[in-house]
Structure 1
Amino acid sequence: MKDGIHPAYGPVVFRDRGAGFAFLTRSTMTSDKTIEWEDGNTYPVVDVEISSQSHPFYTGKSRVVDTAGRVERFERRYGSRGKR
């Protein structure tokens, strides 16, 4: 490999705060935030919104998304234009 053209590749903790799940792996991602891991070492931590512990495909549970607010907002903006 050529020197200086590849990003640094090292251990990083990915944390899914919604599911309370974190895992240590290697990645080129970086972060200013750090976390002390189970082995006593400190690693950069990257917060993610969805992981295998919270994604409906892996859990078999569907999440209810609040679309009522979006529908009501749409009706307020555009609902009266189509009525005659």
Structure 2
Amino acid sequence: MRTGIHPSSRAVVFRDRAAGVAFLTRSTAASERAIQWEDGNTYPLVDVEISSASHPFYTGASGVVDTAGRVERFERRYGRPAAARN
């Protein structure tokens, strides 16, 4: 690989503002802010609005789609298909 063209990877703390959870990982993200981590070292801090700690897909808090209500509303509005009337 060519030298000098890749960004430097370092330890960075990402903090999920919605869930209040922080995690330490390696990243190339730059930040002016810093935070002291549990191990006593100071790391750059990047605030994110959503992560796996607060995303509905990962937390299982996604809403259930009411498909039966949609079908009934469609049938009331447009009627039943001819094949279903028999």
Q: TM-score, normalised by structure 1?
A: 0.70
Q: Which SS does the other structure have where 2:58 is aligned?
A: helix
> What is the letter of the counterpart of residue 15 of structure 2?
R
1:6-21 correspondence to structure 2 within 5 Å = 6-21=6-21
Count of matched residue pairs: 63
Q: C-alpha separation between the residues in 1 aligned to 2:25 and 2:7?
A: 16
Greater helix percent: which structure?
2
Supply the RMSD in Å over aligned alpha carbons.
Answer: 1.3
Q: Which has the larger radius of gyration?
A: 2
Separation in structure 2 between the aligned mates of residue 26 and residue 57 of structure 1, nearest angstrom:
24
Partner Cα separation in structure 1 for residue 41 and residue 9 of structure 2:
17
| Unaligned 5+ runs, structure 1 | 64-84
Name stretches of at least 5 consecutive residues in structure 2 with no aligned partner.
64-86
Percent sequence identity over aligned pairs: 71
**Corresponding residue of 2:28:** 28
Structure 1 consecutive aligned stretches of length 4 or more whose deviation exceeds 6 Å: none
TM-score (norm 2): 0.69
Task: Work out whether 1:58 is the aligned partner of 2:58.
Answer: yes
